[in-house]
Amino acid sequence: MYKDYVNRFIGNDKPVSGSMYRSIFCNEFNVGFGSSRSDTCGRCETLLDDALNHHKQSADEAYKQMKIDHEQAKEEGIFMTYDTEKTMPLPKLSVGEAFYLRQIWMYNVGVHVVRQKREGSYFQIWTETECKRGVNEVCSSHLAFFTIADNSLNKLVVWSDSCAGQNKNFATICFWQYVLLSGRFNTIKHKFPSATETLER
């Protein structure tokens, strides 16, 4: 940017030094740089004006509710958020020949749990040679998590994104019904930032 400033400088005096340019730019202007977001909301990209403001307000209210659920779980019940993390190639090598060869993808479902003033994270990891990463695999990872986790509390609140292939579908509803009927919980509430779905026994 400084080189561009020097090349385009118009005036009788000489352009300021690089350190002066940096000082003015950092302290006098409210400008920030960051990498572009790759996982943006599809509705935010299509809505305009009032509809966009209403959509963002609904999302803010949902995140406020998420914080409330998080705090309440410290006193009673279990609060759980989960997401399928970014896929990773195996082995992770920078050598040119290996980088362009076909690599095995590793999948990971991350679960964050809050219960009675305790917090923890759990990860279920597998490769594409074992199975895919659809709703069946996500629900199986939850079942494995419930097997090892202490489920002595009867209330479960779950938050996830609205991915139709993994979280927001009929198979997930059937899974939560199975968890209820198995006696692990008496109440399960699965919530999404855009809407709230509740299953109760």
Domain ranges of the chain: 45-200
Most distant CA pair in the chain, distance: 82
Report the residue count for the chain: 201
Predicted TM-score of the model (pTM) = 0.70
Residues in CB range of 201: below 8 A, 6 or more apart: 180, 181, 185, 186, 187, 188
**113, 80 Cβ separation under 8 angstroms:** yes
- For residue 99, pLDDT over 80 is answered with no
pLDDT in tens, 147-189: 877 666 678 899 998 888 888 899 999 999 999 898 888 899 9
pLDDT in tens, 111-137: 999 887 788 888 999 999 998 889 999
